[in-house]
Every structure is written in C-alpha cells, then in structure tokens.
Structure 1
C-alpha cells in the first residue's frame, strides 16, 4: 500500500478495531483535528511507529477513542507530545473527564524527544489504566504538562507491580522512566 497526500480523500472507519502503522517514516500527521467526535469509536488497539510524527492526536480526537484498550507508540524519533490540546475557539475543552475510558495498557518506547504524554493544563483521569511502560524516553519529565493525571486503577509501572500510583506526575517519574532494555 502506498500513502500519498490527498486533501479530498474521505476515509470512514466506523468498525475499525485494530490499527497498526509501523515503519511509515514519511508520515508526519495521522489524526486530523477536524475528525468528528467518535470517528474511531470502536478502535480497541492502536500501534504507531512513524519517525516524523511530532504528536499523535489532539485532545478532542483522544476523547473520541471510547473503546481503546491498548496504545503502543514506538520509534517515533520526532514525537514531542502524544496528545496536544488544540486552540480553543469559543467552546471550552472538557476537563476532569476520563481520557481513553477503556485504556488498560500504555507502552511508550524509544521516543527520544518525547517531553510529555499530554500537553494540557487540565486535570485528566485515566480511569481504567492498569499497566504503563515507558522505556528510552530520556526527555520525558512529566506525564501531563502542568496538569494532573489521576490513575485510580494503575497496577504496574515499568514492570513494578508493588507500586500504587494515583497521580502519574507525582509518583511515576523517578529513576525508572528511562530504563533501557538490555539486549545481547
């Protein structure tokens, strides 16, 4: 399959459950900010590895991924933030609502420029998030920039099942954030 830019192309994916895009290093944008709410509402698994992506999606697109259970982002050398807050045009962005209400697993690996998972000042809740793994993300200092991230169901952070974390910003980012897997 060859992907080329086409402004008039309309794609409808109402029943798509799994989307994996790896090795597409020429792609610089995946999700348009103009996507209607719920456009990918049945998506359960999303995997991305595209070298030129600077961010994955806007906060409003993320709120539409109501059934996402697993998110894996790897080898995106240009990614600075996974989710960004779009400019407000009169309508206030909803806050204190669950983001990815079904998300249970989050994997972020080999993202050398990643500074934050979410670029927003709002408080966010990841109500179902159980397993977070962040490896080789040396620039990542906080999970949510200037906001808070409530994770009431979190059980595992980087293979540590002894940890009970409610706010990823406060407790997660210790020496374990930049663990580098060792291979023979």
Structure 2
C-alpha cells in the first residue's frame, strides 16, 4: 500500500493499534492524509515513525482535538533515529484549532531533509513548530508535573519563534503560513557571525495578526522569487537592508492589508548616504490597502529596479513619495497604477 487517506472517524482516538495491524503494513506508504478526526490528540505515534521512511506527502486536516502530529516523548533522548521523514517533500497542517506544535521531543535537531513545501493554515493555538523543553514535556522522578510558568521556562517567551534552531528544512522551497495568530516571529534572530542562507523560492504569509518581524535581520534569501504578505497588522516594516541586498532573484512582491506598515524597506541612518540597493529581477510590485504606509523606503538610499514593469498602489492614503533617496532607477516602468491615494508617489 502506497496511499492511505483516513477521513471522518469521529470516535477514533488512535490511528494505529498493534493488535489490529502489523507495523510493516505502513512500510511502503508514500502519501498519508488524516482528515476529520474529532477525538484524536496525536496523529502519528512514535512507534510508527520508523515505518514511514518512504512517506513523501503528509496532510493533516480538520482534526478538532489534535494537539500534536507526532508523539515522540517516549523515545530515548540518546537514541539516534535519523531524520523524522527522510524523503518527505510536502507537509500540510490545515484547520487544526488545538494544534500546539508539529511534534515534541528530547534530543538534537529535528530535520526534514527533503521537505520542499510546507503549508500551515488556520492553527490558532500554534506558537512553535517543535518543542524539546524538558521542563514542559517531562515529569519529575516521582511522576509529578513540574510547576513552572511559561515565562520561567522561557525568559524570552514573548519572542519565541515559530521555527527555532532545533528544526531544519535545508531544501524548503515554498512556505505558506496563514491564520496562526499567536506567532510573533518566524525565525530566531541571528548574529553577524552566523548568517543564514535559505533556498526558499516562495514565501506567502497571511493573517498572522501578532507577527512583528518577517525574517531575521541577517537572513539571506537569494533564491526567493515570490514574496506575498497580507493582513499582518503588527508589522511596521518588511525588510532590512541586509536581507534586501540578498534578494537577487525576487520577481514578485505583493503587500496588502497590513494596517501598521509604514515602509517596506527599513532604513538605518548610518547606511543611508552610501548605500545603493538593487532589486535586480523585480517585475511586479503591489502595495494594496496599507493605511500607514508613507513610502517604500524613507531612507536616503539609491534604489534601482532595472526589471520593474508593473507597480500597483491602492488605498495607501499616506504615501506621498515612493522613496526619499537621491536616485530612483526604473528604466522599464512606463506607468504606476494608482487608486484611492492622494498625490501620485514620485
């Protein structure tokens, strides 16, 4: 069997029981879909993990009680079992109102080495993708729960990223996140000596109402071609100059319905006079319904858009200038489409 789709089992509490099916039943599974399980709190038990080495597609949807996809607590902390899903290319978590995390574990980095597409949609309780906090997941020697508040566990709980250093997607190509309102940061901030490059091609973020930062200041996205952000009302800017300079392949940028965004490119005084920022392949720029936006960039940078053909600006009433920089280079741009704005930006 290579495909298994389980749907509408309102009383089922476990996906698999040893007395019903041998573990080997799942050895050749390539696609697994779990849909509409009302009472199940965990989708895949740890004892099935080794049998899913051929799994390429995992979709979990519409499970009202699900709190985590994988239950790994009983695994030995020192046991090395390799990547969770060594050939998984697509992971979708959709409409899971109680989901807290993808998995909880004790050990090293959780790696999905071949994952290309990750889609998380409408998971209102999710704050972190994986969790390996011993104080939260495990009990004391007398089996009593540890009485520790979240702030005592995590001094920086208010900036806990969705993806921390304990999770790795080295080949992630497309990331789509929608309606995960508890997330304030997607990745952990990184240092100058530890810059991170990603092979991400498409990044789509929508309705993440507490998101304050799109990417860390020093994250490089040189393979990114499409960037779409909408209905993220805590964002005040989108990109730092360091990240922007890495966007050498970006072709499409769409920003819409973000109430607090004041500028797309965050300016820094110490860089303004000397920096030239080039969006080498950007063809389309859409700025739609951004009531606080004053300009694309308020810094005095030289901005170059050698491939820009289409700019659409709608309902950006505070936008009076596109850029305050000393020069703006757009050789292919013939017209900027405006709607419901004051003066046309220049």
The TM-score bracket by the shorter chain reads 0.7 to 0.9
Q: Structure 1 93/64 Cα, relative in aligned 2: closer, same or farther at 3 Å?
A: farther
Pairs within 5 Å for 1:1-184: 1=120, 2-4=126-128, 5-6=159-160, 9-10=164-165, 14-35=198-219, 39-49=220-230, 50-86=232-268, 88=270, 95-97=275-277, 99-158=278-337, 175=343
Give 1:175 deviation, angstroms.
4.4
Q: Secondary structure at the match of 1:106?
A: strand
Q: Secondary structure at the match of 2:276?
A: coil
User: TM-score normalized by structure 2?
Assistant: 0.42
Q: How many angstroms apart in 1 are the aligned matches of 2:303 and 2:127?
A: 34
Give 1:80 deviation, angstroms.
0.5
Task: Give the aligned CA root-mean-square deviation in angstroms.
Answer: 2.6
User: TM-score normalized by structure 1?
Assistant: 0.75
Gaps of 5+ in 2: 1-119, 121-125, 129-158, 173-197
Q: How many angstroms apart in 1 are the aligned matches of 2:272 and 2:257?
A: 33
Q: Structure 1 93/23 Cα, relative in aligned 2: closer, same or farther at 3 Å?
A: same
Give 1:176 deviation, angstroms.
5.1
Whichever structure has more helix as a proportion of its residues is 2
